[in-house]
C-alpha cells in the first residue's frame, strides 16, 4: 500500500479520541484508521506521532489577514498565500479570506484573487467571506460608514460570481429585500447576519427566506431584551442557524458565550478568529482603511477604543474555548473544524478524521502547540 501512515497518534475520530492509532493518507484523502488492536497499514512512508494529538485541521471562516497582510489592502493571490502560510502555523488548514466593507471594485478583485488561488492550488483556500458593505451603518463597528451601501441586482451578481469554492456573505438582513436575499441563497451563497439592527421579526423573516447563520454573535447586532428579542434572540432560538463566536475575552464576555452554547443545538456554535494582519507578527499597530489600529493586551482597537478585529489565531481560540467556556478538548476542536465545515456545506469531506475525508490534519501537543500539518495529504508544516 502506497501513501503515508501517521502512526502512534492520539486521534480525534467521529466517536472521540482513540490512543495509539494509525491514519493512512492516500492521495489527498484519508484511506484508513487503525486502532491499537487492529493491524497497522503497511507500505509507504511512516510518520511517528509519538503519542501526540492528531486533530482535524482547523477551519476559520473569518480571516481578514495575517503575517503583516490585510486582504482588503492586497486582494491578490500572493497576499492569500502569505495569510495561509501564517495561519497554518496555528493549525488552520482551511480558511475564507475575508473582506470587510469596501468599494465594489475591491470586492471584485478579492473574488478574482480567490478564484485564481483555488485554481493555482494554494493550500487551504476554501472560498471567500465578504463581510459588508451591505450592512447597517448604525451597527458598523469598525467598518467605514462611507463604504456601506445598499444592495442591488448587480451586487447580487457580483457576490454570486466565484463559482469555485464557497462564498459566505455577511449582510444586515433588514437592508436586503427578500427577493435579493432569495437570489443569493438560490445561487449557493451562504448568507449570514451581522452588523445588523434587525428586529426579531425581521431576522425571523430572513431565516425563513434562507439566512443560514450569524457572524460574530452578539457583536454589532441588536441584543436580546425582554420585549424585543432582536437578532441575538432569533439566533439563539433558531435550531438550525449557526453562530460564529470570537473567543478572545475581549469581544464577548465568556458567560454570554456559555449561554449561547447552552441555548443552541450541538454543532451550531463555531469558532472564528476575525484575525487582523498582526497575527503571526510582533506588530503593535497596523493601518485599517486609513485608521491606525493599536494592539495592546491582545486587543486590536482604534484610537477611540473601537474593537477592530482580533490578534487571535485558531489554536489560541481552541485553548480559550476550553478555559473560558469550560469545554472539553473534543468539543473545542470540533468547534474549530467539523462545525465550521458544516456551516459552509463542506462537512461531508472536511473537518473530520474519517475514511474518505480530506487529509487536512494537525499534529499538536496537549497545550495545542502545533507541530506539523497536512493539507490534502501533503505536509505543509513541520518535519519528521
Q: How far apart are CA 299 and CA 63, in angstroms?
A: 16
SS3 32: strand
Cα-trace Rg, the chain: 20
In this structure, what C-alpha cell is assigned to residue 63?
480571516
82 contacts 294 by C-beta, under 8 angstroms: no
Q: How far apart are CA 9 and CA 4, in angstroms?
A: 14
Residue 341 exposure: Cα atoms within 13 Å on the Cβ side: 24
369 contacts 315 by C-beta, under 8 angstroms: yes
The set of catalytic residues is 274
Q: How far apart are CA 117 and CA 181, in angstroms?
A: 27
172 contacts 135 by C-beta, under 8 angstroms: yes
Give CA separation, 180 vs 128, 206, 293, 298, 308, in Å. 19, 11, 35, 38, 29
H/E element holding 341?
helix 338-343
Give CA separation, 321 vs 72, 161, 249, 255, 347, in Å. 28, 35, 10, 12, 21
Q: How far apart are CA 130 and CA 96, in angstroms?
A: 9
Q: What are phi and psi of 127, to 5 degrees?
A: 155, -145
Q: How far apart are CA 53 and CA 364, in angstroms?
A: 5
Tell me the residue length of the chain. Answer: 384
Give Cβ neighbours of residue 156 (< 8 Å, ≥ 6 apart).
180, 183, 184, 187
Give Cβ neighbours of residue 37 (< 8 Å, ≥ 6 apart).
none
SS3 1: coil
H/E element holding 8?
strand 4-13
Amino acid at each position: 500500500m502506497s501513501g503515508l501512515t501517521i502512526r502512534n497518534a492520539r486521534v480525534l475520530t467521529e466517536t472521540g479520541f482513540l490512543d495509539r492509532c494509525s491514519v493512512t493518507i492516500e492521495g489527498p484523502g484519508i484511506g484508513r484508521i487503525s486502532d491499537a488492536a487492529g493491524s497497522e497499514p503497511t507500505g509507504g512512508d511512516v510518520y511517528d506521532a509519538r503519542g501526540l494529538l492528531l486533530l482535524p485541521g482547523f477551519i476559520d471562516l473569518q480571516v481578514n489577514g495575517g503575517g503583516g497582510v490585510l486582504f482588503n489592502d492586497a486582494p491578490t493571490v500572493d497576499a492569500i498565500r502569505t495569510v495561509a502560510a501564517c495561519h497554518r502555523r496555528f493549525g488552520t488548514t482551511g480558511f475564507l479570506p475575508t473582506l470587510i466593507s469596501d468599494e465594489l471594485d475591491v470586492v471584485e478583485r478579492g473574488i478574482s484573487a480567490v478564484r485564481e488561488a483555488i485554481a493555482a492550488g494554494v493550500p487551504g483556500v476554501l472560498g471567500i467571506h465578504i463581510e459588508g458593505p451591505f450592512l447597517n451603518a448604525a451597527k458598523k463597528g469598525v467598518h467605514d460608514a462611507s463604504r456601506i451601501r445598499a444592495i442591488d441586482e448587480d451586487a447580487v451578481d457580483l457576490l454570486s460570481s466565484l463559482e469555485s469554492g464557497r462564498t459566505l456573505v455577511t449582510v444586515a438582513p433588514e437592508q436586503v429585500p427578500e427577493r435579493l436575499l432569495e437570489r443569493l441563497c438560490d445561487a449557493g451563497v451562504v448568507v449570514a447576519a451581522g452588523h445588523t439592527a434587525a428586529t426579531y421579526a425581521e431576522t425571523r423573516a430572513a431565516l425563513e427566506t434562507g439566512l443560514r447563520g450569524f457572524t460574530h454573535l452578539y457583536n454589532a447586532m441588536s441584543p436580546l431584551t425582554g420585549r424585543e428579542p432582536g437578532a441575538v434572540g432569533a439566533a439563539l432560538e433558531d435550531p438550525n442557524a449557526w453562530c460564529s463566536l470570537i473567543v478572545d475575552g475581549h469581544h464577548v464576555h465568556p458567560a454570554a458565550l456559555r449561554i449561547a452554547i447552552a441555548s443552541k443545538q450541538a454543532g451550531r456554535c463555531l469558532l472564528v478568529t476575525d484575525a487582523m494582519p498582526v497575527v503571526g507578527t510582533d506588530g503593535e499597530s497596523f493601518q485599517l482603511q486609513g485608521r491606525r489600529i493599536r494592539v495592546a493586551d491582545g486587543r486590536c482597537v482604534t484610537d477611540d477604543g473601537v474593537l477592530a478585529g482580533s490578534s487571535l489565531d485558531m489554536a489560541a481560540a481552541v485553548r480559550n474555548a476550553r478555559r473560558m467556556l469550560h469545554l472539553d478538548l473534543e468539543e473545542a476542536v470540533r468547534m474549530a473544524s467539523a462545525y465550521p465545515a458544516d456551516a459552509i456545506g463542506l462537512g461531508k469531506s472536511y473537518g473530520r478524521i474519517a475514511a474518505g475525508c480530506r487529509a487536512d490534519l494537525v499534529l499538536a501537543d496537549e497545550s495545542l502547540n502545533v507541530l506539523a500539518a497536512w493539507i490534502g495529504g501533503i505536509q505543509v508544516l513541520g518535519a519528521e
